[in-house]
């Protein structure tokens, strides 16, 4: 016990004790839930308006509908249409106290957690902090290949994609222009497929007539997968259908090609160098680092092994849900990191806690009931797989849309997303193509090589301008227009 106490004192740094104010009423079993994702939110809602005291903690003040995050990254939806303030969601439940803060440490012996350094005691602790990106031992790739887990990630990717076209419009070097208009999506799962299809739709539909020097439809979009085929969890015929549909959109699919290197100028696949200015990571995830705070060990992905009731063996009153949990089905297979798994786990644990604590009953083990796998490819194209049932094409696209609108939190978001999709479907226009100044500053600009080339070439192009007049060459946006007969400078 002495060694354990020393360990937890290390996890919780010594400082003056300051308790987090607890919600009224003061009696009742106190459940602290860390994380307001699908698992944490469904648990808090299940325990809402019950004798339990529930404290829901998250470092952001909103619940994010991650399955549609790629549509924010590709300018289809705005951030507010897939996010809902947690306090608004929980306002119907007076026994649920919402706190904005970040977890600093856990002491299971004292049944306490630290939130931004302040102590919060609990009777039952539930960790549902989700996952982050995994670069398979190459963290140096992250600055050049952002993943897609947060609204900040989506804004950054949206800015990178839109800025690539903007910079290509003013780029005089054909090779650099081609690099700027090459987009590489790494990972052929549903997220990668949806991202590649959405970028293709943006380039070939929404941006098609907006530029004068470049043709956005000529953008090169690569979907890279190390496995033999894309959409590995789906049946082979649906995977093949998705591949054909993506190719019809102009996406180049590279399978069996693991990534070897990523830097600011491009990627390397099997010794082949591909120049690209925009790389998007959709290849792997790892559990959030919160699992390591428990001191019980994790698997290679950082997940905490849990029992059939989602409790952590050896830690009384501690449960782990969602992407942070290494849970198994009745056949002993690990459950996938899907939103529907996390949602069902939250509902199950809420009912299990009510059975165990309020009624003294032992709950049955958790059983996941699959609602099927869905992936959208593009306009009128999607695939759906549920047990032996398969669907593809327009019908699957409708099922995908209805399912995602239904799962959105809040009637307002459901209505706004439905209207936004209808407008985009009828007009082929995306409504959120704004590059905000803060994101613009964070996105890397042209490389030094490109800048040097531009500086050396602009003067030469001006000197050669007279010799190339009338030959139908592409206008150089960096060369001023020729003087008129009256000697006045024309407009750029």
Which residues have C-beta within 8 Å of that of residue 354, sequence separation ≥ 6?
Answer: 46, 47, 50, 52
User: Residues 320, 310: contact at Cβ < 8 Å?
Assistant: yes
Instruction: Look at residues 331, 334, 348 and name the one whose alpha carbon lies nearest to residue 304.
Output: 334
The DSSP code for 189 is: S
User: Residues 145, 155: contact at Cβ < 8 Å?
Assistant: no
User: Residues 97, 56: contact at Cβ < 8 Å?
Assistant: yes
Task: Report the distance separating Cα 39 and Cα 343, nearest Å.
Answer: 5
User: Residues 353, 28: contact at Cβ < 8 Å?
Assistant: no
Give the CA count within 13 Å in the CB-facing half-sphere of 78. Answer: 12
Distance linking the first and last C-alpha atoms of the chain = 77
Measured in whole angstroms, the distance separating CA 6 from the mean position of its chain's CA atoms is 38
Cis peptide before 25 (omega within 30 of 0): yes
Task: Report the distance separating Cα 150 and Cα 489, nearest Å.
Answer: 48
Say which of 81, 112, 171, 194 is annotated catalytic: 194
Task: Report the distance separating Cα 79 and Cα 71, nearest Å.
Answer: 9
Element (H, E) at 96: strand 96-100
DSSP string covering 357-403:
IIS-PPPPPP------EEEEEETTEEEEEETTEEEETHHHHHHHHHH
φ, ψ of residue 347 to 5 degrees: the values are -65, -45
Q: Are strands 112-115 and 103-107 parallel, antiparallel or unpaired?
A: antiparallel
- Sheet containing 112-115: give its strands across: 103-107, 112-115, 118-121
Q: Is 194 a catalytic residue?
A: yes
Task: Record the tokens describing residue 104, joined without a space.
Answer: 């600093």
Q: Which residues does the annotation mark as catalytic? A: 194
């Amino acid at each position: 016990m002495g060694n354990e106490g020393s360990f937890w004192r290390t996890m919780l740094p010594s400082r003056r004790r300051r308790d987090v104010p607890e919600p009224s009423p003061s009696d009742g079993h106190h459940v602290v839930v860390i994380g307001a994702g699908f698992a944490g939110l469904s648990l808090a809602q299940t325990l809402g308006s019950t004798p339990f005291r529930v404290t829901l903690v998250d470092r952001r003040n909103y619940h994010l509908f991650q399955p549609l995050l790629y549509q924010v990254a590709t300018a289809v939806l705005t951030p507010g249409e897939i996010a809902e303030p947690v306090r608004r969601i929980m306002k119907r439940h007076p026994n649920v106290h919402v706190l904005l803060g970040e977890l600093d440490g856990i002491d299971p012996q004292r049944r306490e957690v630290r939130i931004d350094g302040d102590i919060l005691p609990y009777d039952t602790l539930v960790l549902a902090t989700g996952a982050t990106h995994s670069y398979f031992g190459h963290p140096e790739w992250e600055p050049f290949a952002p993943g897609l887990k947060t609204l900040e990630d989506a804004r950054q990717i949206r800015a990178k994609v839109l800025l690539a076209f903007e910079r290509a419009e003013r780029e005089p070097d054909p090779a650099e222009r081609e690099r700027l208009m090459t987009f590489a999506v790494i990972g052929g799962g549903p997220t990668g497929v949806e991202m590649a299809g959405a970028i293709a739709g943006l380039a070939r539909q929404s941006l098609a007539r907006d530029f004068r020097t470049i043709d956005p439809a000529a953008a090169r979009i690569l979907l890279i997968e190390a496995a033999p085929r894309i959409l590995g969890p789906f049946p082979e015929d649906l995977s093949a259908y998705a591949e054909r549909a993506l190719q019809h959109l102009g996406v180049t699919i590279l399978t069996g090609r693991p990534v070897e290197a990523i830097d600011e100028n491009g990627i390397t696949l099997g010794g082949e160098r591909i120049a690209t200015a925009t790389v998007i990571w959709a290849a792997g995830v790892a559990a959030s680092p919160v699992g390591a705070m428990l001191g019980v060990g994790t698997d290679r992905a950082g997940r905490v092994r849990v029992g059939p009731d989602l409790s952590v063996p050896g830690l009384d009153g501690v449960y782990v849900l969602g992407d942070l949990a290494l849970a198994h089905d009745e056949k002993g297979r690990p459950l996938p990191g899907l939103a529907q798994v996390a949602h069902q786990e939250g509902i199950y644990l809420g009912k299990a806690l009510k059975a165990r604590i309020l009624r003294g009953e032992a709950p049955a083990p958790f059983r996941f009931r699959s609602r099927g796998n869905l992936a959208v490819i593009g306009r009128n194209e999607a695939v759906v797989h549920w047990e032996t049932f398969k669907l593809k094409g327009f019908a699957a696209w409708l099922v995908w849309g209805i399912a995602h609108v239904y799962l959105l939190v809040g009637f307002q978001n459901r209505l706004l997303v439905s209207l936004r999709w209808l407008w985009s479907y009828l007009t082929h226009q995306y409504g959120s193509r704004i590059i905000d100044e803060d994101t613009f500053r964070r996105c890397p600009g042209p490389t030094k090589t490109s800048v040097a080339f531009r500086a050396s070439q602009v003067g030469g192009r001006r000197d050669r301008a007279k010799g190339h007049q009338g030959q139908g060459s592409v206008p150089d946006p960096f060369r001023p227009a020729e003087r008129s007969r009256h000697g006045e400078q024309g407009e750029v």
